[in-house]
Amino acid sequence: MGDPLLSVRDLHTTFPLRSALLRRRVGAVQAVAGVSFDLHPGRTLGLVGESGSGKSTLARTVIGLERPTSGQVLFQGRDLAEVGAREMRHLRRDIQMIFQDPYASLNPRRTVEQIVREAWEIHPDVVPRARWAGEVRELLERVGLDPSHAGRYPHQFSGGQRQRIGIARALALRPKLVICDEAVSALDVSVQAQVLNLLQDLQRDLGLTYLFIAHDLSVVRHISDEIAVMYLGRVVEQAPRHELFARPTHPYTQALLSAAPVPRPWDQPGRARILLQGDLPSPTDPPSGCRFRTRCPKAVTRCAQEAPALVERHGHPSACHFAEPLTGVAP
């Protein structure tokens, strides 16, 4: 398959936990606790997990907004912790991020044209100044916006259109890797589908690579080649998307899939429902052994003593001592 574009190796990102009163360090939040994966050019890795599982922290560590406590982020084989300032500037162009709330990340006092071309002021060698206006129009057209609206302000657009502005801005530097952090989560389902289709068209036309983050499996399902399921800072299962949906082996994945809404429930009368008990434990004090055990219907004594490694079990990596394929659980 060739070399990966992005490799994450046993990545840990820990935040100090300070007491409100004395600002003394009283503990640590293990937001990302040993994540590894490879992402190949032109592919999409979907990353799912409930709120607080560490998805955004992982993304922020990959683009250098957080410092890893240990482990490595390799982009095109280069360890991001070891590159100099000059090379880092270059790499920063190659990795762009699209956020959940385009409104919060778009400056309300700048026109769409100013927003899209902003990055060229910082990276003047990407597009010559004489080409800026033309390039903005091309980018707007590419993301499905009317180029004659380049002089309008963000509040003059709908939520879906604003997300398209965010996408145009991310594409302005001609990145190789685009990290979409809950990029469509705030949109209505029909608008979500349109933006997902746009992202897929852009991937095909521009050869983009995506790390696509969402808390909802149904969102990552169609866009991902491969899906990694995160729980409390760790990946618990990773598989090609068809395999993940057809034969999930980790009890957490099985529970997530069984909880997904079914479009035609009468077609699947016997579909298993697995209910998760309780909330996500705190990442400041994760359970011993398997982090999922406190909510797992299969948990036994061994699970409290021995953390299961993410290794091949029944055809793809799964971090459960008792991994077992379960069919008929996904809608």
Ligand X SMILES: Nc1ncnc2c1ncn2[C@@H]1O[C@H](COP(=O)(O)OP(=O)(O)OP(=O)(O)O)[C@@H](O)[C@H]1O
Contacting residues toward ligand X, per CB under 6 A: 15, 29, 31, 49, 51-57, 215, 283
Out of ligand X, Mg ion, none, which partner does residue 68 contact, by CB within 5 to 8 A per kind? none
Q: How far is the CB of 212 from ligand X (least distance, A)?
A: 13
Cβ pair 109, 152 in contact under 8 A: no
Cβ pair 296, 252 in contact under 8 A: yes
Cβ pair 227, 241 in contact under 8 A: yes
Q: How far is the CB of 216 from Mg ion (least distance, A)?
A: 12
The Cα 99–Cα 167 span in angstroms is 9
Report the SS3 class of residue 98: strand
Interaction residues for Mg ion, span 49-88 (CB under 5 A): 56
Q: Count of residues binding Mg ion (CB under 5 A)? A: 1
Q: Which residue is nearest to Mg ion (CB)?
A: 56
Partnered with residue 235 across adjacent β-strands are 230
Q: How far is the CB of 246 from Mg ion (least distance, A)?
A: 28
Token pair of 133 as six digits = 């206006």
Out of Mg ion, ligand X, none, which partner does residue 8 contact, by CB within 5 to 8 A per kind? none
Out of ligand X, Mg ion, none, which partner does residue 52 contact, by CB within 5 to 8 A per kind? ligand X
Nearer to Mg ion among residue 177 and residue 180 (C-beta)? 180
Q: How far is the CB of 258 from Mg ion (least distance, A)?
A: 23
Out of Mg ion, ligand X, none, which partner does residue 169 contact, by CB within 5 to 8 A per kind? none
Sheet holding 209-214, edge to edge: 95-98, 177-181, 209-214, 44-48, 226-231, 234-240, 316-318, 311-313
Out of ligand X, Mg ion, none, which partner does residue 215 contact, by CB within 5 to 8 A per kind? ligand X
Sheet holding 78-79, edge to edge: 25-39, 6-18, 70-75, 78-79
- Which residues make up the interface to Mg ion (CB under 5 A)? 56
